[in-house]
Amino acid sequence: MRLKILFFFFFLGSLVTQGQITGAYQPAYDFKQIDSIAKVGQSNTNGMLIDPSLIRDRLTKLENEIPLNYNFVTHQFVEIFAFRKASFTKKMLERKDVYFPLYEKYLKKYGLPDELKYLSLIESGLENKAKSNKGAGGLWQFMPYTARDGFGLRVDQYIDERYDAELATDAACRYLKQLYTTFGDWHLALAAYNTGPGNLKRAIRKCGASDFWGIYACLPKETRAYVPQFIAMTYMMNYHWDHSIQPENWVIDIPKDSIMVSGYLNLSILTKLTGFSLDTLKKLNPHILSHFLPKNTQNIKLHIPKSKFDYFSQNRVKILDSARYDAKGKVQELEDDSDSTEVDEEEEFDASPSYTSKRFSYKVRSGENLTRVAKKLGLTVSALKKTNRIKGSKLRKGQILYYYKSVSTKSSYRKSSSKRSKQSSRRKHSKKKKSSKKKSKSKKRRKRR
């Protein structure tokens, strides 16, 4: 144990000396943070499983526009991804070919370093539907307000374009370019992407330095690990073979073609008439959260399996008209609506063929949770929680949940008018009966007289 401690201080001293020679500032290492996220089984006398000089030399060869500094922190993360998290590294190798061509296309378009494609691995693990506990979503983990206000992405209960790989990648590239223009340093730009420009500026003022390693101690814990993780993942994606990590089950994207759609569209009918399942459409279109597109849809990209696209193109007008006609002809019902009741059923609307949101209620069954109910109703959990002002995640049996669906105002008008006509016909019929009874009584009285 004493040998390990002596070696560590000797190693740290060499880094400080190197920093003094090159003029680079080395961080005041947060050992608690390193121990919590980078604890690796130590089998060698020096406590390291990979030769430090090997990693340092390879990072030097890989370095392009973004500095790939070698130090104790980056070494620890390399060992994490090589040993403890080898399964994660393997999964990234199996998924990368689905997204890397798209990343490379947009990085080139905006003149950004190609190695930024590795950042998404740290952000989302190349999981398009990834969502953090803070609400960030998609491959590039945008917060809803940043996506909407900063980059014009649509984020609501029906469509969330943070989950559209192409739109999200385009927005991420614009954001990274904006951050680099602001801070003039790639490590600072990456840190700002993680913690926000405001937090980064406060860390710069607090520490009085202008580089990532200089403000390391003033950053949030998560952000301290962010840049070292990026460097370590860049290393592993290029030298995984030397650490016995290789992909086995390559993830293959479903070949697809795209169309732009606007207005109401019932996706269940569209998929049925085109000849593929709604589940397949949801896999191809993770940005579409419901089983229909609402009336305010404007130029939303809809992906269709390539194997079905020729048939769809030949019958496009017929298929789209059928999907839209269904909305005009009748209100869409749930597959299992035994506990679903319509609220404000007597509400009157104009007979014009437009649509409106209508409130429905749902009675919670035993054993159901928010996720299950949201999926059943074709909504997102966040939308259901927001509508019902639910803070936690638990539901109780018999609880009434309210939600909104887009329905045709014309059909509602017909429904109410038909009810009125039935009621009026009943009244007329009852009046006739009463009048006939009165006449028969009067006739009987006359005969007696």
Question: Which positions are catalytic?
Answer: 123
Sorted by sequence, the CB contacts under 8 Å of residue 421 that are 6+ apart come out as none
Rounded CA gap, 429 and 196, in Å?
Answer: 72
3-state secondary structure of 214: coil
Q: CA 277, 154, 162, 105 torsion: positive or negative?
A: positive
Question: What secondary structure letter does DSSP report for 246?
Answer: -
Q: Which residue, among 366, 289, 274, has the nearest Cα to 322 in the 3D structure?
A: 274
Q: CA 17, 21, 22, 23 torsion: positive or negative?
A: positive
Sorted by sequence, the CB contacts under 8 Å of residue 409 that are 6+ apart come out as 349, 350, 351, 352, 353, 354, 355, 356
CB distance 287 to 159 below 8 Å: yes
Q: What is the DSSP string of 271-284?
A: HHHHTS-HHHHHHH
Residue whose pair of structure tokens reads 């000396």 in the numeric block: 17
**CA 254 → CA 251, 264, 322, distances in Å?**
10, 26, 26
CB distance 304 to 256 below 8 Å: yes
CB distance 290 to 378 below 8 Å: yes
Sorted by sequence, the CB contacts under 8 Å of residue 55 that are 6+ apart come out as 70, 74, 75, 78, 235
Rounded CA gap, 42 and 39, in Å?
Answer: 9
Q: Which residue, among 304, 293, 297, 290, has the nearest Cα to 262 in the 3D structure?
A: 297
- Rounded-to-10 torsion of CA 439, 441, 444, 446: -70
CB distance 93 to 246 below 8 Å: yes
CB distance 61 to 115 below 8 Å: no
Q: Which residue, among 227, 195, 233, has the nearest Cα to 212 in the 3D structure?
A: 227
